[in-house]
Structures are given as structure tokens and as C-alpha cells.
Amino acid sequence: MQRASISQWTLAYFGCSLAVFLAALGLIAAGFGYPADALAGPRTLIVVHMLAIGWLTLLMFGAMFQFLPVLVGRDLVWPRLPPVALLLIATGLVVMLTGFAGLDGMIDLPAQLLPTGGLLLLCGFSTAAAVLMATLLQGQSLPLPACFVAVALLSVLLTALVGESLASALTGVFGGDFALALVTHGIPLHAGLGLGGWLTFAAMGVSYRLVSMFLVAPERGGRLPQIAFWSGVLGGAGLGGAFAILLARNMPAPPAVTFAALAGFASVGAYLGDIITLYRSRRRKALELHMRAAIAAFSMLGLAALVLVIAAAAGSERGVVAGVYILVLGWLSGLSLAMLFKIIPFLTWLECFAPVMGRTPTPRVQDLVCERRALPIFAGYFIAVLVGATGLFMEEPHLLRVAAAAQLIVAILLSDEFRKARRLHHLPAEWTNWKKPRLFLPTTPSRMLP
Amino acid sequence: MNDLELDVRPMLRNGGEPFGAIMGAVNELVPGQRLRLLATFRPEPLFSVMASKGFSHEASPLEGGDWQVVFTPTGDSKQAGGSASNPDTWADPDYYLDCTDMDPPEPMVRILEQLEDMGEGQVLFALLGREPIFLFPELEARGHAHVGEFAEDGVTYRLFARAGRRP
């Protein structure tokens, strides 16, 4: 018998990740990091890791603790471990960022904190991945979205291993030709595995199921999802192979990286084709705001893939940077914000109204949000991302800072909408005195909810 | 005795759900009369429902991909009530809900609302677009028994829920 329950720690993950997201946008708006600092400079790396780990990875893990049991119809294995993983990841991130700051000379602390932080992160990722992987393996069957998640979990561990090697080389834990080769050629592999193999692949898997559920469209079967999956696996294998060659021979492997890029491009193309089909075959003609905002995020993925391929072929560094910006802030962050706009009200609704549904009238999930207010916020966000990417490509730092400031403002407004959903703020007057859930921390419900 | 014939093909082609019409026809049958049903597909989900009402079935393909099913009364329909733990003894469904086009969590709300209005032992049959995994713990918490399975298309989920005793 399949069943599901509310994940106790998901909202704590969401709360932490949103806080880091706002802080990272604030730093970009303040002109911290690239282009004032080098692309691989410590200040740039601080911002990049805040976005990739503090914002996106925490969000993804939080979402998966809720989503994966629903996907495979099993309760989460070892439910006490998610808070442990959260603590390890948060501590590891702070220590690692401190290490970067020490490397930069901003603070008088040893840069050796960098690999220490990396090790804590590796422990945190392993804990979260172990819980999720064990839950997957308990399932009665492994639907395709779950296969995406499984590969993404392997990628996050590999990303962290490559990152830890880089951190050790950067801080002189080991030296010689190997360290030099790693620092010279390892960063694109680390970034590709993290942003592609882990975050994008996980987002693809999760969205396959969520999109079909929210649009009331039949699940996708047939060849395209298989192409999306296996091309992605080949892309990840290409990056893994390039890293193995780097380890064994201290040499880069451009053919393997090119192969990985092309396979990744094919995977994204097949996936976007599937998403278009899902939208077209939907049984609910009216689109809620989160699914309209998701269209913008999917478009950003297509745009980012195009920009990255063209820029890489042309050898344009600023083109690659602009492409990565669209990928991270347009696709990954945009999709995350769009899905949070549905997931937070949905979980809040379950927490507050599941025990009484059917017995007394309950509000609709949509009543917990105000789409009219949120629509211009989402529109502003995606426009600001495009302006920011243009600023990077044109090498206009002021344009980038203005765009990041605009993104920061709309992200604060959206976070406030999430808070209002949790506080039942938008519900009609008759619900004013209804018991409100905690904002982020788990509640101990009077009865274990579904 | 003539069979009662019901052709639900036009309804199916218009995207309709013929379950209600079929149950209506079953209620019109005189004792011993057979029901001859014409459909655009082999209506597997119906066979278990009709078996619980005491009908055997004989399905045969027609030209153009349509199907004819003849339901013959066998005279051993289930007694009302039955045992909650044994779905084979449950009464025929008195209520039917089509939730296939509903957005979650609406199917959950509608099913639980319906069960609140039903007497102990009455059965609800619901069609859903996916397995309602958040609903099961809620059904159990309220003392309703349930049994369900995916239809042959692997997408539609059929749920039988038997109302429990009121607290």
C-alpha cells in the first residue's frame, strides 16, 4: 500500500536556502566578486557557492525529502537524518566560505578552512543522499523521474569529491604537477557536474512528475524521456571520464568534455520537447501562476543551453559567464521560485486542513496565495535575469548590479508571499483564527497527518 | 426475455464518463434479465464492479475496435454491509465520483466529504488520475476501509472506499 506523509524538515531547508539566496543576490548587487574579481577568484567563488549550495542544493534536498517518498510510495528511510544533514551542510558552507575569505585575505583566518568545510559538506551531502537513495531502493518500482534523481544524487557526491580535491590543491594540502593540472583544468568539470549533473538533472526529474501532476496531464512515456535520461547519463559519464583522465595523467581531455556538452545539450532538447508536449496535452486549460512562471524558467533553460554551446564553440568567456548566469538564476532559481509558490501553500494546506477536510468546508490551496500580486513579481524577476546576463555579456558591471538589486527586491517580495501563505494571510476573514503552522520549524501535530 | 441494451459509445466519444448511466441501467433490470453493453473499449474496470453485483460477463470485440459485453445475472450478489477487512463481501457502490480531471488535493476533499455523508458499510467508487497516496492515511485515521488498483491503462486509479462507523 502506497502512502505519503508530510516531510517534517522540508520547510526548514526552504527557509535556510531562501536566506542564503537573498544574501547572495545582495552581494552581487553590491559589486562583490566577478567582474570586479577574477572569474575563479575567491570572492566570485563565495557568491557562486552560496547560490549553488546554500540556495539551490539545500532547496533541492528539502524538496526531495518531501517528493521522493511520494514518488516511490514509501516513507522516508531514517527520518531523523535530514536535520543532521542540514546542520552539516550549513556548517560546511560557512566554514568553506570563511576559507575562501581567508584565501582572499579579507579576514585573518587560514585558508586551510576551505578543505575542512569541503569535508563537512561531503559528509552532509552523503547523509542526505544516503537517506534519499535508501528511500528510492525501498520503492516498489523505479519510475523514470526517480532514475533522474538517482543519477543526480551520484553527481552531487562526485561534484563534492572534485570540489574537495580542488580545495585541497588551492590551499596547498598537496602540490606538484597534479595540483597544477587540477586547478587549471578541474573547475569546468566541477561546475558541469554540479550545475548539470546534479542540479539540472534533479530539477528535470522532479519537474517531470510535478508538471504532469499540476497540469493534470498524462505522464510522459515513450522515447523522448528515455533520450533525455540516457543523454544526460552519457554527459555525466563524459565529465566523470575527463576527471579520471585528469587524475591519472594530469592532462585535460577536451574530447570527453565536448562529448559531455553535446550529450547534455541533446538531453536538454529532448526534455524541453517533453515539457512542451505535457503543456499541450494538459486537461486543465487554465494555467495557475506557478505553471506560467515555470514556462519562463523552461525557456531560460533552452536559452542558457544555446548561449553556452555557442559561447563555448566561439571561445567567448563572457558568453559562457552570461550563459551560466541564465542557467543558475533563470532556469534553476526561476523554476525553484515558481515551484515554491505552489509547494509551500500545498504543504501548508495539508498541515492545517487535512484533519478537517470533508467534515467542514476548507479553503482551496489557491486561496493561500494571491496570484494577482505575485504575477508582476515573477515577471520582474525573469526580466531582471535577462538584464543581468546582458550586463555580464556586455561587460557592464553597473547593469549587472542594477539587475541583481532588482532581483533581490523581487526575491524579498516573493519570500514575503511565501511567509504570508504560511501565516494564512490571504485567507478570507472566517479563517482568521485558524491555528497557524510554524514558519519553518517542524510542528508536532496533535495527530500524525497524512 | 429480451436483453436490456445500453450503447455508451457516443458518450465515450464525447469524453463522457458512462459509469452512472451503466449503474442506472443495472437498477432497471428485471430479475434474470441480461445487460448488453456496447463500448469503444473493453471496459475492464466494470467487470469487478458488476461481479460484486452478481453478474458474470462475456466480452466480444466488434468491428472497428468497439466491444460488446453481455452481463448475465448469476444470483449471488453481495449482501449489504459485509466485513470491512474483506472487500469481497462489501456492498455494491452506492456512490460514484469521477476525480480524473481534478487538481490535487480536490479529489481527497471530495472523497472524504462524500464518505462523511454515507452510512456505515456503504461503498464509494472513485476514479482518480493518480494514486491518492496522501488520502490513504486520512481514510484510515477516520476508520474508512479502502481498496484500489490501477486500471489497465496504468494511469487511472480505481478506488473503492467503505464508510466506517461514525465516531
Beta bridge partners of B7: B38
pLDDT at A444: 54
pLDDT at B29: 85
pLDDT at A1: 41
Q: Which residues of A fall within a CB distance of 8 Å from B130?
A: 213
The closest alpha carbon to B134, from B146, B121, B120, B152, belongs to B146
Measured N-to-C along each axis, helices A201-214 and A289-314 cross at an angle, to the nearest 10 degrees, of 150
Distance from CA of B124 to the nearest CA of A (A): 14
pLDDT in tens, B15-39: 777 877 888 888 788 888 899 999 9
pLDDT at A74: 81
Contact A346/B105, CB-based, under 8 Å?
Answer: yes
Give residue A443's pLDDT band: very low, low, confident or very high (50, 70, 90).
low
Distance from CA of A68 to the nearest CA of B (A): 12
**Beta carbons within 10 angstroms of residue A92's beta carbon:** 22
A446 pLDDT higher than 50: no
Higher pLDDT, A428 or A121: A121
Residue among B102, B112, B131 minimizing CB distance to A357: B112
Higher pLDDT, A450 or A116: A116
pLDDT in tens, A195-253: 999 999 999 999 998 998 888 888 888 899 999 999 999 999 999 999 999 989 988 99
Q: Which residues of A fall within a CB distance of 8 Å from B137?
A: 3-5, 448-450
pLDDT at B56: 87
Q: Which residues of B fall within a CB distance of 8 Å from A5?
A: 137
pLDDT in tens, A316-373: 999 999 999 999 999 999 999 999 999 999 999 988 988 888 888 889 999 999 999 9
Residue among A213, A284, A447 minimizing CB distance to B141: A447
Contact B101/A216, CB-based, under 8 Å?
Answer: yes
Low pLDDT (below 70) residues in chain B: 75-85, 166-167
Residue type (1 letter), B123: V
Q: Which residues of A fall within a CB distance of 8 Å from B114?
A: 358
Question: How many residues does the structure list for chain B?
Answer: 167
Q: To probe the interface with A, which of B95, B133, B146 has the most A CB atoms within 10 Å? A: B133
Is residue A298 within 8 A of residue A272, CB to CB? The reply is yes
pLDDT at B65: 85
Contact B136/A213, CB-based, under 8 Å?
Answer: no
Contact A2/B133, CB-based, under 8 Å?
Answer: yes
Q: Chain A to chain B, count of Cβ pairs less than 8 Å apart?
A: 63
Residue type (1 letter), A94: V
Give residue A447's pLDDT band: very low, low, confident or very high (50, 70, 90).
very low
Is residue A352 within 8 A of residue A340, CB to CB? The reply is no
pLDDT in tens, A71-108: 887 889 999 999 999 999 999 999 999 999 999 988 88
pLDDT at A450: 36
| Alpha carbons A308 and A306: distance in angstroms, whole number | 5
Higher pLDDT, A425 or B78: A425
| Alpha carbons B102 and B113: distance in angstroms, whole number | 15
Is residue B55 within 8 A of residue B75, CB to CB? The reply is no
Give residue A449's pLDDT band: very low, low, confident or very high (50, 70, 90).
very low
Contact B103/A216, CB-based, under 8 Å?
Answer: yes
C-alpha cell at A283: 486537461
DSSP A298-321: HHHHHHHHHHHHHHHHHT-HHHHH
| Alpha carbons A212 and A126: distance in angstroms, whole number | 30
What is the average pLDDT score of chain A? 92
| Alpha carbons A153 and A193: distance in angstroms, whole number | 11
| Alpha carbons B164 and B119: distance in angstroms, whole number | 8
Radius of gyration for the alpha carbons in chain B, expressed in angstroms and rounded: 16
Its sign, for the CA torsion A371, A375, A378, A380, is negative
Q: Which residues of A fall within a CB distance of 8 Å from B151?
A: none
How do beta strands B93-99 and B55-61 pair? Answer: unpaired
The secondary element (H helix, E strand) that includes residue B6 is: strand B4-7
How do beta strands B67-73 and B55-61 pair? Answer: antiparallel
pLDDT in tens, A274-331: 999 999 999 888 899 999 999 999 999 999 999 999 999 999 999 999 999 999 999 9
A448 pLDDT higher than 50: no
pLDDT in tens, A2-59: 556 788 899 999 999 999 999 999 999 999 999 999 988 999 999 999 999 999 999 9
Contact A450/B129, CB-based, under 8 Å?
Answer: no
